[in-house]
């Protein structure tokens, strides 16, 4: 996970696609806008994944790694093998994906983000 954190950090530094250029050609402006949207989406996904990796590394330090942040049950080892930064078990993640309210005892992440 530390290696993944380094990879994600270096990906956030690659922001050339966000440069704003003045171009009179309408097609170039449309292409640039599309490129900008794509680059912004990639940076947002990188940032989200970086946050998840930092939370997982923090949970390793505190001894809570592999415990679901929502139901506080163990996360299946196969899930952690595929997604080592998973903070929820499959059942709770599916509930969150459906937009249901998190279970009582949801893990607070705001304190870890500054790290």
Rounded to an integer, what is the distance from CA 74 to the centroid of its chain? 21
> What domain range includes position 24?
2-97
Distance CA 25, CA 44 (A): 28
Which residue reads 């989406």 in tokens?
41
All residues at 6 or more sequence positions from 61 whose CB lies less than 8 Å from its CB, including other chains: none
CATH number at residue 60: 1.20.120.910
The per-residue pLDDT for range 3-58, each reduced to its tens digit, is 777 776 666 555 555 555 556 677 877 887 888 888 888 889 988 989 999 999 99
Angle (nearest 5°) at CA 65 between 102 and 1: 110
Report yes or no on 110 lying in a domain.
no
What's the pLDDT tens digit per position in 53-80? 999 999 999 999 999 999 999 999 999 9
Residue 82 has pLDDT above 50, yes or no: yes
The predicted model scores a pTM of 0.59
* Number of domains composing the chain: 1
Reported confidence tier of residue 113, pLDDT bands at 50, 70, 90 = very low
Cβ atoms within 10 Å of 50's Cβ, excluding its own: 19
What does the block give as tokens for 112?
A: 């870890």
């Amino acid at each position: 996970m530390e290696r993944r954190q380094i990879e994600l950090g270096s990906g956030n530094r690659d922001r050339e696609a966000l440069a704003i250029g003045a171009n009179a050609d309408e097609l170039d402006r449309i292409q640039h806008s599309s490129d900008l949207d794509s680059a912004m989406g990639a940076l947002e996904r990188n940032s989200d994944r970086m946050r998840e990796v930092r939370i997982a590394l923090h949970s390793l330090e505190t001894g809570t790694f592999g415990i679901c942040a929502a139901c506080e049950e163990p996360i299946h080892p196969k899930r952690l093998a595929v997604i080592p930064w998973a903070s929820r078990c499959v059942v709770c993640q599916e509930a969150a994906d459906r937009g249901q309210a998190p279970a009582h005892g949801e893990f607070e992440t705001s304190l870890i983000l500054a790290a």
